[in-house]
Amino acid sequence: MENHQINTGHGKRLASLVREDGTECWDLERISLFYIIAGNEDLYRRRNAIYDFNERCIKTHLRDGSEDFPSGQRSLIKLGFNLFNGYREDCMTPMDLFWNLNNRNTRIAHDAIGLRFSTLGAAILETYV
């Protein structure tokens, strides 16, 4: 992840999510989820349909169809949920999740995986929070 790039808008949205939630810099599970939400402007606008900031938990409504997200956004949300707490459902292989992502969303997904399994999360928070 040495070549990791985060644009200013993405960084500001990530910082906003972290502040709203009260996330600690060591919470790489939550940071990786927020990284995905912040990286896609549509997901960021609909963040309250994805994550409950009062209860500090994900909203697993994807199965019931009560929220309609395009397939690429749905894949990002599933990945974010999985990175957050191991969430699983049918069609969660890497191929299932990545086949319908455009280049930007593929990069977001790739970087979120790197964040989850590294110490880069703390460095990003130091930069943007």
| DSSP, residue by residue, the chain | -TT----HHHHHHHHHHHHHHT--TT-HHHHHHHHHHHHSHHHHHTHHHHEETTTTEE--GGGTTSS---HHHHHHHHHHHHHHH----SS-SHHHHHTT--HHHHHHHHHHHHHHTSSHHHHHHHHH-
Looking at residue 120, its pLDDT comes to 63
pLDDT at 96 over 90: no
Query: Stretch 3-28: mean pLDDT, rounded?
Result: 84
- Residues spanned by the domain of 108: 8-122
Residue, of 119 and 54, whose pLDDT is higher: 54
129 assigned to some structural domain: no
pTM of the entire structure?
Answer: 0.86
Question: What is the rounded CA–CA span in Å between residue 14 and residue 8?
Answer: 10
Q: For the chain, what is the mean pLDDT?
A: 85
> Would 79 be classed as within a structural domain?
yes
Q: Is residue 18 part of a domain?
A: yes
Domain tally, the chain: 1
Integer Cα distance of 85 and 8 in angstroms? 27
Q: Is residue 128 domain-resident?
A: no
Smallest CA-to-CA distance from 112 within 86, 59, 60, 76 is with 76
Place of tokens 């609909």: 46
